[in-house]
Amino acid sequence: MMVWRVAGLAVGWGVALLWATRGGAWLRGMSRLPDLRRETPGRGRGRLSVIVPARNEGKSVGAGLRSLLASKGVELEVIAVDDRSTDETGLVMDALEQEPRENGVRYLVEHVQELPPGWLGKPHAMARGAALATGEWLLFTDGDVVFAEETLARSLAWLEREGGDHLLVVPTGIAGSAGESMMLPLLHILSIWGPRLWRVADPDARDAVAVGAFNLMRRTTYAAVGGWERLRMEVIEDLRMGYLIKQAGFASRVVTGRDMVRIRWAHGARGVVDNLTKNVFAAFRFRIGLMVVGTALTAIMCLLPFVGVVIGAILDLQVRDRAWLWPSLVSVAVLTALYWRYRRFADPGGAVTMLWLPAFPVAALVFVYAMVRSMVLTLVRGGVVWRGTLYPLHELREHAGPLR
């Protein structure tokens, strides 16, 4: 019994130490990131081409495109790419060509009818859009992203002043249901174990990142790293583009800016699970052993603190033994601080984030389920199914780059 007690306490304090060190570094580091809202409004120099690929997003693509077309202070062209949609996506894109615009934005629509062999749909659609672009700057975004009218001008002005080649604006997550309100803080907190956003600008650090909602780069940078053709069979193409840019020695930057870039990443907890099913196994480079280890560690890190609180409270009441309680309380305290700080990046009109802290173990169980589901379904199906297309696993593995 003594051996098990010592082992359990060692694991509990190990988990607490990891949460405290990584969580503390994240809280300090994220507070140092520049805030785009503090950028002096002005006209961004150079022409910007925004490429918006969309497949079967007829209900949301209109709002995103209209927000781009309403942008101020930048010489802009918007290229909407309809990627083989079977709903009204293409019709919505075409209808926007007839709407009056007073800011001189150039707008064109490209319809993709067939997907060539050896390509995933989204990288192909973005490559098609980039081939039509005429701007010095390229912004790749998603069809369901909504922009503030000064986001693009502020982004260009900041990049030009800082001398960067690539920019990520941390998106503001929108939760439209209880399931999303439960899951989004968890996903944000788990991101602290990924690239350290405040170290991305450091050329000596390995940290690199990009997101599909806002991936802005110089046209010359895009060409130098091989464009989307180099990532034509990459499921997490946005993250990998950030890796290629940093690896090639270009200056990558990260800024915050609440409400500057808004996105509803998924609809409901089921939508979150579906998105994770596509992405998680790919993030582990389709390696079964690595995925199993990652799933086990995620379960331990997320669930043990709350299990420890329950066990520690029971032991405290029965035998006055608080040894199990203290490490779990340390972990929960760090999670509480992370939830509190997450409000800076969350939708200000959404639910109070702190109210969802007690649901963290439930959200963690859903996430672990999604991890297992991602690997099992990919192996059973023989590939990744996304928006009606099956991409064979052997091709995805063949083109998968290194983990970092």
pLDDT of residue 316: 57
pLDDT higher than 90, residue 175: no
Top-confidence residue, 53 or 389: 53
CA distance linking residue 5 with residue 324, whole number of Å: 9
Q: What percent of the chain has pLDDT over 90?
A: 73
Alpha helices in 320-359 (DSSP H): 325-342
Residue 75 gets which letter from DSSP? E
Kindly report which listed range (9-23, 169-183, 310-324) carries the lowest average pLDDT score: 310-324
**Above 60 in pLDDT, residue 238?**
yes
Contact 217, 226 (CB under 8 A): no
Question: Which fold, 36-171+211-265?
Answer: Spore Coat Polysaccharide Biosynthesis Protein SpsA; Chain A (3.90.550)
Per-residue pLDDT band at 322 (split at 50, 70, 90): low
User: Contacts from 103-106 at CB under 8 Å and sequence distance 24+?
Assistant: 103/69, 103/70, 103/71, 103/72, 103/76, 104/75, 105/68, 105/69, 105/71, 105/76, 105/77, 105/78, 106/76, 106/77, 106/78
Mean pLDDT of the chain: 90
Q: DSSP labels for 282-302? A: HHTTT-HHHHHHHHHHHHHHH
Q: Which residue has the higher pLDDT, 63 or 160?
A: 63
Would you kindly state where each structural domain of the chain is located, as residue ranges? 2-27+281-399, 36-171+211-265
Residue 102 pLDDT level (bands cut at 50, 70, 90): confident
pLDDT tens for 44-81 read 578 999 999 999 999 999 999 999 999 998 999 999 99
pLDDT band (50, 70, 90) for residue 197: very high
Output the six-digit token pair for 232.
């034509």
What would the pLDDT profile of 361-385 be if each residue is shown by its tens digit? 999 999 999 999 999 999 999 999 9
Q: Within 10 Å of residue 99's Cβ, how many Cβ atoms?
A: 10
Q: What is the mean pLDDT of residues 218-230?
A: 97
**Residue 119 DSSP symbol:** -
At which residue do the structure tokens 């950028």 appear? 39
Span 254-303, pLDDT tens digits: 999 989 999 998 888 899 999 999 999 999 999 999 999 999 999 999 99
The whole-model pTM stands at 0.92
Separation between Cα atoms, residue 218 and residue 209, nearest integer Å: 16
pLDDT greater than 60 at residue 320: no
Confidence label for 244 from pLDDT (cuts 50, 70 and 90): very high
Residues contacting residue 17 through CB under 8 Å, at least 6 positions apart: none
Q: How far apart are CA 133 and CA 216, in angstroms?
A: 13
